[in-house]
Structure 1
Amino acid sequence: MKESNPSAAKVDQLFDELLQDYSGPEAVLGEQGLLKQLTKRLVEKALQAELSHHLQQHNHPLTPGAELPRERRNSRNGFSKKTVQAELEELELQVPRDRFSQFEPVLVKKGQRRISGLDDKILALYARGLSTRDIQAQLEELYGVEISATLISQVTDAVAEEVRQWQGRPLDKVYPIVWLDALCVKVRSEGRVRSQAVYLVLGVNLEGHKELLGMWMSPAEGAKFWLSVLTELKNRGVEDVFIAWVDGLVGFPEAIKTVYPSARVQLCIVHLMRKSLKYVPWKLQREAVAELKPIYQAATVAEAEAALETFAQKWDEHYPSISQLWLRHWEHIIPLFDYPADIRRVIYTTNAIESLNRSLRKVLKTKGHFPSDESVFKLLYLALSNIAKRWTMPIPNWKQALSRFAIEFSDRLSH
């Protein structure tokens, strides 16, 4: 039989005494309820204890038995009033002061107007694409507390410096796989709403974990800007990339080869399929998908070429653009066949960049347009932080893939 915990018993006894006059939820959760009063008293008691520690440290004599002169001894000096926004309500606190105004509280710092917890809730709601007005309504509905739009803006604006530090952080030397893609957003600039491209680079490190390497913005997606992105990655420590997955942007492979000459450039099959279906009426798209699959699911390059020829014989009469699209990019499709099926699943069936883009589009669709580039980065950074919490495990079949890489890129894995 376990021994009872004396401390727990004392706490239970205290709660029984506090609740002996309980008359309903208002007595606990109301404006003058027990919960608010306890929070206020606990915070004030903690501040008093902090001041006591501060005074003891200041007045403690350097030599045993010695005493500081009266004029140098610090002491309590009344209180100052301060209102802070706690997690569920505002608290009006009595903050103790010292004679020399040297006391710096830790629990509620000078200038601090919010107790930890509220900021996290605001940022979590903002990261899901809620507007300032939506966040106000949500917090009021859940907690019965009114939060000003200014406060919400201050909390989210504080993320800007965090974004800058994240964007400039050092990166690993080697990323076996990277996906490079861009999203389109609307941003108001000089009184007009313009389209902007948000460049994303998603990498898989040597442990098999996904990691977003950075975000960049430009008026439109282009190979020249991608070259500057890749150069920045190089400057931040990325010395080598084994496989770079890209869409069919003209000049993209050349930009990658300029910075990473040894990288294998692989055209993203998802992008290629999407572009292929643009040439096909909606009612025939399912059939086209089924007949394109044998091309990229072939075991060898020879089988893939035969499958493409078979497809062309049937579809070229009415839709010749599809086979021409594949032939035009064939050089950057066939690297896929250098790997067995399980490795291919690692690098394209997972569709890492597409999964990421879908999650981001869910957040972006709540915004008609953004007031500035910085607001785009702020929202996407917070959304990505939420998404990255799910990236706790290596991607499927990673050990098999790494073993294969260790053979093919043995000289480069030792960097």
Structure 2
Amino acid sequence: MTAPDNLPPHALAAASPDLLRAMVKTFADALMSAEARRPRRRRIWAGQRRTHQPPQRLDRPRERGTRAGTVEFAAPKLRQGSYFPHWLIERRRRAEQALISVVATAYLLGVSPRVEKLAESPGGTQLSKSQASTMAKHLDEQVAAFRNRPLDADPYAFLWVDALAQKVREGGRIINVHALVAVGVNADGHHEILGVDITTAEDGASWLAFLRSLTARGLPGVQLVVSDAHTGLVNAIGAFLPGASWQGCRTHDARNLLSQVPKSAQPWVATLLRTAFEQPDTDAVKAQMIHVLDPLETKLPKAAAHLHSAQHDLLAFAAFPRELWRQIRSNNG
């Protein structure tokens, strides 16, 4: 396909990939030809007699990955001396840095298609092993910068901490690991992942090391931490975030409560418990919890005892302003 001599600006946005690639190739060819004909470029003529004879084309064009797709560029071949367009084609490298950044960013954002498919989508070709290695190195640098960035710029009043079970490949085997994740609410009111760590076991030592790393990076102003009731985690929160309240995971505790009542009564108990979280102010929340406990003590004393001991940890959100409840009364950070 040959690029047109002129193209209206409004048509460029709707242009096909083939047209864009042809335009890139035409423009690059024109620049290379003009540069090769300049008689004063000593590195091109290499001390030989200067002439204005037209350059010849290379028999084997080089492929170059661009934002418009893969384009074949053929650098001019001079009758005397040599010419190589370093500004366009880097030796021993085929992939454009932009493509590496796209794939790396896609992984960081959780996009997980095959690398080859992702590279082909903008018109690229399959990636070589060296290109995949370059992308992995680029990813390692970005992940390390993300995991070690300072956290002392803004306060994070609310923090969710949880562990996610994952399968990973290690030494040719698939093993189970735990990804420890901390999510905070920043000064703009948005959720932000503050830390991620991979451990072989979710135990007290792992949680201590994880929270120690967050505080070492300057994690400030935490007022409420929401997590499940893992003993090692709760103890680590008390050790490294002593000024913060702790709120138990609403989903986990509801499941524990329902496990202590007959199956036929579970829908009723679940609905009754939910009413305590839907009240308009702090006093109403506390009053409604009393109304929830009263019938349970009569009909299901075991469940009532469990809820009575857990109520303060479940309702920690009620101590904060009402406009913040939507963000903090649920365990879904």
Alignment match, 1:266: 247
Residues 306 and 228 from structure 1, CA distance in 2 versus in 1: closer, same or farther, beyond 3 angstroms?
same
Residues 278 and 254 from structure 1, CA distance in 2 versus in 1: closer, same or farther, beyond 3 angstroms?
same
What's the offset of the Cα at 1:221?
2.1
Please state if 1:170 is matched with 2:170: no
Q: Which has the higher helix share?
A: 1
Cα displacement string for residues 303-352 of structure 1 (whole angstroms, at most 9, x for unaligned residues): 255134225236526xx3x4444344344234333234333223225x55
Does structure 1 retain, via aligned residues, the 8 Å contact 2:75–2:85?
Answer: no
Alignment match, 1:307: 291
Match of 2:317 among 325, 336, 341: 336
Unmatched runs of 5 consecutive residues or more in structure 2 = 9-14, 47-54
Query: Which runs of structure 2 are paired with 1:387-398 in the superposition (5 Å)?
Result: none
Provide the secondary structure at the position in 2 that maps to 1:90. Answer: strand
Cα displacement string for residues 44-71 of structure 1 (whole angstroms, at most 9, x for unaligned residues): 4456678999x99xx8xxxxxxxxxxxx
AA aligned opposite 1:310? D
What's the offset of the Cα at 1:200?
0.8
Higher relative contact order (CA 8 A, sep 6+): 1
Match of 1:42 among 3, 22, 27: 27
Distance 1:34 1:91 in 2: 11
Distance 2:111 2:263 in 1: 32
Unmatched runs of 5 consecutive residues or more in structure 1 = 1-10, 17-24, 60-72, 354-415
Alignment match, 1:371: none
Alignment match, 1:369: none
Alignment match, 1:147: 126
Residues 212 and 279 from structure 1, CA distance in 2 versus in 1: closer, same or farther, beyond 3 angstroms?
same
Provide the secondary structure at the position in 1 that maps to 2:179. Answer: strand
Provide the secondary structure at the position in 1 that maps to 2:196. Answer: strand
Distance 2:150 2:131 in 1: 31
Distance 1:107 1:221 in 2: 50
Please state if 1:197 is matched with 2:181: no
Does structure 1 retain, via aligned residues, the 8 Å contact 2:181–2:197?
Answer: yes
Query: Which runs of structure 2 are paired with 1:120-131 in the superposition (5 Å)?
Result: 122-123=103-104, 129-131=111-113
Distance 1:294 1:123 in 2: 45
Match of 2:217 among 236, 243, 250: 236
Distance 2:200 2:66 in 1: 42
Please state if 1:182 is matched with 2:163: yes
Cα displacement string for residues 67-105 of structure 1 (whole angstroms, at most 9, x for unaligned residues): xxxxxx544568986322334653332347999999884
Please state if 1:247 is matched with 2:232: no
Cα displacement string for residues 144-172 of structure 1 (whole angstroms, at most 9, x for unaligned residues): 76524747744652312210111111112
Residues 233 and 294 from structure 1, CA distance in 2 versus in 1: closer, same or farther, beyond 3 angstroms?
same
Does structure 1 retain, via aligned residues, the 8 Å contact 2:165–2:176?
Answer: yes
Q: Could you tell which deviates more after superposition, 193-202 or 218-227?
A: 218-227
Please state if 1:214 is matched with 2:198: no
Does structure 2 retain, via aligned residues, the 8 Å contact 1:176–1:242?
Answer: yes
AA aligned opposite 2:219? V
Does structure 2 retain, via aligned residues, the 8 Å contact 1:82–1:94?
Answer: yes
Does structure 1 retain, via aligned residues, the 8 Å contact 2:293–2:307?
Answer: no
Distance 2:143 2:134 in 1: 14
Alignment match, 2:52: none
Does structure 2 retain, via aligned residues, the 8 Å contact 1:86–1:116?
Answer: no
What's the offset of the Cα at 1:293?
1.6
Match of 2:271 among 262, 265, 290: 290
Match of 2:71 among 64, 85, 91: 91
Identity %: 22
Q: Could you tell which deviates more after superposition, 273-282 or 239-248?
A: 273-282
What's the offset of the Cα at 1:278?
4.7
AA aligned opposite 2:318? F
Alignment match, 2:238: 257
Alignment match, 2:49: none
Provide the secondary structure at the position in 2 that maps to 1:175. Answer: coil
Does structure 2 retain, via aligned residues, the 8 Å contact 1:230–1:256?
Answer: yes
Provide the secondary structure at the position in 1 that maps to 2:157. Answer: strand
Q: CA RMSD in A?
A: 4.2
Please state if 1:159 is matched with 2:139: yes
Query: Between Structure 1 and Structure 2, how many residues are aligned?
Result: 307
Normalised TM-score (structure 1): 0.59
Please state if 1:14 is matched with 2:6: yes
AA aligned opposite 2:213? E
What's the offset of the Cα at 1:42?
2.0
What's the offset of the Cα at 1:216?
0.5
